[in-house]
A and B are shown apart, each in its own frame.
Chain A
């Protein structure tokens, strides 16, 4: 498992401007390993990707990665930014039929499982998440974007994007 914290100063800068999410301001500014940085960039390279409505990312139905991220950052900024953090976490997964079965759930676009079945088993896939979280006294929440990331091609599998909102 790889975990990376991003300084909150970065989060605040991003919260002030949605367009900042597309710029280098969004990048972690501390000791980034190449892989962490690439996963983080992957998220921001998909700002226009629209989550499927079945994921209930917001009460208005679908929204984009960019909108979801901006809301998380705005919420962080609205409260106390020094208690917020951004983390990148990845776990290796095997491209096999059971992984395909996971992505056949109806919260993912149809055909996602078929795409995964076409991968070779030794394909180096990782299940990654970029999470935005806040913790202060009894206020604790997180907003995360999950996706499969191919280490060899350094690309995300678009249809595996998913938002996770807690609580």
Chain B
């Protein structure tokens, strides 16, 4: 990734902190505050829209006709599985990383192929060390949290059903 692209991402991330998803996306999904918006948020910031079947723009007929609605991928596993194996690695706390994606899920949701499954407990954010920018569904806003706090939060939230794993991924070109 070019320096100016990274600089733009950092600017967009800082601007988004504290925003509600409907300030970022005008789709029907964007105004549904009961939904998980983590992948939706990350995809809008990074311009990811990998398939119509997993895009906010094509969830409803009305949104598909609305020129003001820009498409963005809404599923964590779709983003994770776009990464080639060499571009994703288990995250180790207290290590310094280059900017990239950060994923969390239950260990049993990682398949023998290394791909992520479709189990519900999964989350995604964007890491610009030592910060993780992600959508807090309970607070209903974009949150900037340090990596250790992020790891602690989701280890606790997902721990009920077995071990929890964190990954770092490269940005997808």
Residues of A bordering B, CB below 8 Å = 54-56, 58-59, 75, 78-79, 91, 93, 98-99, 102, 105-107, 127, 133-135, 137-143, 146, 162, 164-167
Contact = CB atoms under 8 A, between A and B. Distances in A.
A48 to B, nearest CB: 21
Contact of A138 (B59, B119, B124, B154): B154
Contacts of A102: 58, 61, 64-65
B138 interface: yes
Interface string B50-83: 0111100011111011000000001111100000
Given A54-B53, A127-B61, A166-B36, A59 B160 contact: no
A144 B156 CA distance: 27
Nearest to B124: A167
Contacts of A79: 120, 160-161
A133 B34 contact: yes
Given A166-B40, A167-B124, 6 more contacts: A102-B64, A135-B137, A138-B137, A140-B35, A140-B138, A166-B35
Nearest to B42: A167
A98 B65 contact: yes
B61 A75 contact: no
A55 B61 contact: no
A99 B118 CA distance: 29
A142 B53 contact: no
A141 B36 contact: yes
B75 to A, nearest CB: 6
A115 to B, nearest CB: 15
A134 B37 CA distance: 13
B15 interface: no
B51 to A, nearest CB: 8
24 contacts: A56-B53, A58-B118, A59-B115, A78-B161, A79-B120, A91-B60, A91-B62, A98-B61, A102-B61, A102-B65, A127-B61, A133-B34, A135-B34, A135-B137, A138-B137, A139-B157, A140-B36, A140-B137, A146-B59, A164-B59, A167-B36, A167-B37, A167-B76, A167-B124
A79 B158 CA distance: 10
A162 to B, nearest CB: 8
A167 B76 CA distance: 6
Residue of A59, A79, A127, A164 ringed by the most chain B CB atoms within 10 A: A59
Contacts of A98: 61, 65
Contact of B120 (A107, A139, A146, A164): A139
B160 A107 contact: no
A100 B38 CA distance: 31
Given A93-B61, A138-B153, A140-B36, A167 B122 contact: yes
Residue of A93, A102, A105, A140 ringed by the most chain B CB atoms within 10 A: A140
B162 to A, nearest CB: 11
